[in-house]
Amino acid sequence: MEEMIGVIGLNYKSAPVEVRGKVSFTEEQIRQFIQYLYKTESVAGVVVLSTCNRVEIYFHIQNRSTQESYESMFQQLFEFKQLEASVRKHLYSFEGIDAVKHLFEVAAGLDSIVLGEDQIIGQVKNAFLISETAHCAGNVLTRLFNRSFNAGKKVRTETKINEGSASISSAAVTLAKQQYNDIEKHSVLLIGAGQTGRLSILSLVEKGCEHLYIINRTFAKAEEMAREFNATAVPFSHIKKYMVKCDIVMVATGSVTPLIDEAMINEIMPQRDFQPLTILDLSVPRNVTKEVGFIEKVTLFDVDDTEVVIHETFQKRKAEIIKAEEIISTLADEYMEWVASLSLSPTIRQIKENFRKIHDIEFKNYQKSNADVDLTIMEEYGAHISDKFSGLIIKNLKELTDNGKKTDHLKLVNELFELISENGK
């Protein structure tokens, strides 16, 4: 049986937005899912990362083979999300150092639609925080995610991977500007006051947009963002009214069901005198039904449409990828060294305990027949010799097993000291 670190998931490269929407998690669903998994005997840690571009489950599993671990994770995911079997072809998996490198690349923005984007590091931190708060991360994944934050920072500091960095939000604004060259003269309605919404309105302000309206289910959040960007907060119930008023609508919410459908748009278009309407849906799952895009005078973009805009950014930065990958490779090797050393801990502890046990037994036997000898000195000397021999064996053990990486050698040593322990009784 094995102990492993692994990840299963899908992203914008392996699955279209419709599939990602089916697999995506709300924060409450993440809490339910990780607590359910953590109750199983073999799961020592689990973190779920769910964004508009990826859903990934990182896990540390003990006392199961690699194949069993993966199959268990796939099964739990499919049952929890009630997924069709066809979704499986969109999923990928990594284990060991490949899983570690993948997470480091994600945190550094190397695996994002926008190369080097900064938003992902906050999303990774939030995913870890959910598991840590629920006491479901475990020490191995805790160290892994903390190292991923370091990797993300180091890559961004020592390379130019995010120079002139864009985001999906800014790419979406670029798409809107392609529809309206004079975008600053048009009214914009933002639905959603989260991080993606904030980045969206920031990009709009940078383009010179002044007629900005913000809608959020929690009106106070809309007001807070409106104050920051000199925009106008609008009650959630006024969506239709302001879709009539605005030429550009950006949607970025965590709703699991669509907020805008064909019937709604067919209702408001006559009120707009059928003037062109551009809708940018940056939500996963979709917040705007696909049918909306077929309505005359309506242009609908989703998160996958931003990829075309982002391609130019990638071309400018791809020379920095090699530097970033070298940094990540070094950090991943260091982390795996630590993981491997964990397997030595039980053996090292057993070696020390066995030497101490043999010392104690032999000293008691010696004490019975040598009552006239200074036993304090003898005991100290015996303990010193035991520590010396155990230290020498531990040093050789680390070299023999390559600091715990060669598990076959480690198994042999464990068996040897089990025999020593038995014979020492």
Report if residue 423 sits inside a domain. no
pLDDT by 10s per residue, the chain, length 425 = 457 899 999 999 999 999 999 999 999 999 999 998 987 768 999 999 999 889 999 999 987 778 888 988 999 999 999 999 999 999 999 999 999 999 999 999 999 887 888 889 999 999 999 999 999 999 999 999 999 999 999 999 999 887 655 678 888 998 999 999 999 999 999 999 988 899 899 889 989 999 999 999 999 999 999 999 999 999 999 999 999 999 999 999 989 899 999 999 999 999 999 999 999 999 989 999 999 999 999 999 998 888 777 776 677 677 788 899 999 999 999 998 888 777 666 666 666 666 666 666 666 666 666 666 666 666 665 666 666 666 666 566 666 666 555 566 666 666 655 544 454 44
Which of 117, 144, 164 terminates a domain? The answer is 164
Give the bridge partners for 216, in sequence order. none
Residues 286 and 243 in one domain: yes
Residues 23 and 120 in one domain: yes
Answer whether 195's CB lies under 8 Å from 221's CB: no
Report if residue 424 sits inside a domain. no
Residues 157 and 192 in one domain: no
Residues 195 and 98 in one domain: no
Report if residue 231 sits inside a domain. yes
Report if residue 309 sits inside a domain. yes
Residues 210 and 275 in one domain: yes
Report if residue 245 sits inside a domain. yes
Residues 191 and 232 in one domain: yes
Residues 387 and 409 in one domain: yes
Range(s) of the domain holding residue 105? 2-164
Residues 160 and 172 in one domain: no
Report if residue 336 sits inside a domain. no
Which of 292, 314, 336 terminates a domain? The answer is 314
pLDDT of residue 424: 46
Contacts with 88 (C-beta within 8 Å, 6 or more apart), sequence order: 74, 78
Residues 38 and 121 in one domain: yes
Give the C-alpha separation, 93 to 66, whole Å: 11
Report if residue 338 sits inside a domain. no
| Total domains in the fold of the chain | 3
Contacts with 394 (C-beta within 8 Å, 6 or more apart), sequence order: 348, 351, 352
β-strands 54-64, 43-50 pairing: antiparallel
Query: Which tokens hold the place of 56?
Result: 């990934």
Burial class (CB in 10 A: 0-12, 13-18, 19+), 75: exposed
Cis amide prior to 270 (ω within 30 degrees):
no
52 is catalytic: yes
> CATH number, domain at 102?
3.30.460.30
pLDDT of residue 310: 74
Which of 102, 136, 164 terminates a domain? The answer is 164
Answer whether 331's CB lies under 8 Å from 104's CB: yes
Report if residue 395 sits inside a domain. yes
> CATH number, domain at 173?
3.40.50.720
Residues 150 and 179 in one domain: no
Residues 279 and 232 in one domain: yes
Q: What is the pTM of this model?
A: 0.67
pLDDT of residue 30: 97
Residues 178 and 45 in one domain: no
Answer whether 310's CB lies under 8 Å from 166's CB: yes
